[in-house]
Amino acid sequence: MMSEVGGESCPLRVAIIGAGPAGFYAAEYLFKQKDLNVEVDLFDRLPTPYGLVRFGVAPDHPKIKSVSKVFDRVASKPGFRYFGFVELGKEIEVSDLRNYYHQIVYTVGAQSDKYLNIPGIDLERSHPATEFVAWYNGHPDYRHLSFDLSQESVAVIGIGNVALDVARILSRTIDELRVTDIADYALEALAQSKVKEVYILGRRGPAQAKFTTLELKELGEMADADIFVLPREAELDELSTASLANTDRGTVRNVEIIQGFAQRGSTGKKVKLHIRFLVSPIELVGDEEGGVASMRLAHNELYATEAGTLRPRMTESIEDLAVGLVFRSIGYRGVPLAGVPFNSDWGVILNTEGRVLNQDTQQPVLGEYTAGWIKRGPTGVIGTNKPDAVETVKHMLTDLASGNILQPAHPSAEEAELFIRERQPMYFSYADWLLLNEFEVSNGQAIGRPRLKISRIQDMIEARAASRHTD
Ligand code: NAP
């Protein structure tokens, strides 16, 4: 008689692709199942785990990063293995995974950004904020970038939390940044920064900003930056005022904080941080060398759609803002994985509640699932990925119970490891990551910093070899 998958003698074998929060939360919920014998192999294209917790969360937010302790606990479960530096679509393919696993979960996040289609957007010194974020966080693929911080005036387009992160990092003093794990080259570059004016630009009003309250408040508490909001832009129009009656507490608090900022004046701090509302960039104007010299803004008003959403509409009023550096912070966007159905309108894997759907039949694809930003889009905070992953895993368990799982030819941990090693002999295990982690922390502490991130993959390989040697 065939033994039951997930039972004592035949573990359910799951491959999770992408070692960010969604991947770890999916693994955590699988290990929580009392009567399930499960083995999870978690893959990442980079040697280091944690995804956006390492490369997205701002370095001056160490508390948010401490969620990595939860991930380390998941990684310590028997049955968990990590395969870092193994990329789906490069070293391994979906068809390979079907030979070794009963279920596959894609948790690759949103690796690109939304495009802002206005004249001049591709001028020099106009960048996606996502690239700046990855750069200052020491992401191996972005470490080579450079940003012209000799410009005095910078615009950040968008009023979400990423825009706040970018504006804060640009406005912090070097002493504030030194005590963080910001990449060493970014610290050096920011130490030379000439930035004096930072404009955060929202196309809608204070009641439609996507900020979380703590992050917004923090903007008014910077060591050497004053916050400015124009009183006329802090005032709500009638539609927004009415909308407050049916909104969440966070939005009401945000409006109060923004109106409080509007009452403040200069205290003579070095950087002037402005949040502007109801303005849409309509053109970036270049200088003779092809770099951004200014931005043309249209003033907006709000109108209600049939569904009741308040949308921006341009008026005839135009303004020119002199800025020499622009960051577009208007949202991340998912990128398709080869062989995995994709909804290109939304930038997510085609799925319903985490079950991947066949593009033609719209029926679930056997054994394939998704969680996190590549499932639902780039919304919510880290914790949002937990219920999101749970929803997916619940469907995986239902499908397991009804026998709707893949029938891999080699459902064995040893054979999977041999295969992966053949494709990527340099793969990083979790033990390797923990060595690298210790190495980064001790190098940081030696110079009074919490961590000195290694940002070159070659350096990670060498650090691992050196650490193994000394053990
Ligand atoms: P977001 O919260 O979706 O904000 C995007 C902003 O871009 C919105 O203000 C949006 O305005 C604006 N926008 C979009 N298209 C635009 C256009 N064509 N022109 C002008 N503005 C445009 O995205 P995010 O800031 O990238 O953050 C992603 C997620 O990560 C969010 O859920 C965020 O809360 C989370 N996050 C959390 C933290 C934290 O907790 N500390 C830190 C960073 C990120 P509309 O609303 O008008 O569309």
- Beta carbon of 347 within 6 Å of any ligand 1 atom: no
Residues whose CB is less than 8 angstroms from the CB of residue 166 and which lie 6 or more positions away in sequence, other chains included: 129, 132, 133, 156, 327, 329
Question: pLDDT band for position 2 (50/70/90)?
Answer: low
Rounded mean pLDDT, 149-159: 98
Q: For ligand 1, what atom is nearest to the CA of residue 210?
A: 2
Ligand 1 centroid, distance to 221 Cα (angstroms): 21
Whether 469 has a pLDDT exceeding 80, the answer reads: no
At 314-339, the pLDDT tens digits run 999 999 999 999 999 999 999 999 99
Q: Is the CB of 160 under 6 A from ligand 1?
A: yes
Ligand 1 atom at shortest distance from the alpha carbon of 214: 41
Find all residues with CB under 8 Å of 437, minimum gap 6, and list them.
Answer: none
| Pocket lining: 159 vs ligand 1, CB cutoff 6 Å | yes
What's the pLDDT score for residue 467? 81
Q: For residue 43, is pLDDT > 90?
A: yes
pLDDT tier for residue 1 given thresholds of 50, 70 and 90: very low
Please give the pLDDT value at position 277: 98
Averaged pLDDT, 297-320: 97
SS (H, E, C) the chain: CCCCCCECCECEEEEEECCCHHHHHHHHHHHHCCCCCEEEEEEECCCCCCCHHHHCCCCCCHHHHCCHHHHHHHHCCCCEEEEECCCECCCECHHHHHHHCCEEEECCCCCEECCCCCCCCCCECEEEHHHHHHHHCCCCCCCCCCCCCCCCEEEEECCCHHHHHHHHHHHCCHHHHHCCCCCHHHHHHHHCCCCCEEEEECCCCHHHCCCCHHHHHHHHHCCCEEEEECHHHHCCCHHHHHHHHHCCHHHHHHHHHHHHHHCCCCCCCCEEEEEECCEEEEEEEECCCCEEEEEEEEEEEEEECCCCCEEEEEEEEEEEEECCEEEECCCEECCCCCCCCEECCCCEECEECCEEECCCCCCEEEEEEECCHHHHCCCCCHHHHHHHHHHHHHHHHHHHHCCCCCCCCCCCHHHHHHHHHHHCCCCECHHHHHHHHHHHHHHHHCCCCCCCCCCCHHHHHHHHHHHHHHC
Q: What mean pLDDT is reported for the chain?
A: 97
- Closest residue by CA, ligand 1 atom 4: 160
Q: Which atom of ligand 1 is nearest to the CA of 114?
A: 15
Q: Whose CA is nearest to atom 23 of ligand 1?
A: 331
For residue 470, name the pLDDT band (cuts at 50, 70, 90).
Answer: low
378 in contact with ligand 1, CB cutoff 6 A:
yes
Q: pLDDT at residue 305 above 60?
A: yes
- Asked if pLDDT for residue 419 goes beyond 60, the answer is yes
- Predicted confidence at residue 55, as pLDDT, reads 98
Find the 209 Cα to ligand 1 centroid distance in Å. Answer: 8
Q: What is the pLDDT of residues 267-296, one digit of tens each?
A: 999 999 999 999 999 999 999 999 999 999
At 100-129, the pLDDT tens digits run: 999 999 999 999 999 999 999 999 999 999
Ligand 1 and 210: CB distance under 6 A? yes
pLDDT at 468: 75
pLDDT tens string 421-451: 999 999 999 999 999 999 999 999 999 999 9
* From 121, 330, 376, mutation site for ligand 1 pocket: most ligand atoms within 8 A of C-beta: 330
**Spacing, Cα 280 to ligand 1 middle (Å):** 15
Whether pTM > 0.85 for this model: the answer is: yes
Using one digit for the tens of pLDDT, what is the confidence trace for 185-226? 999 999 999 999 999 999 999 999 999 999 999 999 999 999
Q: Is the CB of 380 under 6 A from ligand 1?
A: yes
CA of 308 to the centre of ligand 1 (A): 20
Q: Whose CA is nearest to atom 9 of ligand 1?
A: 159
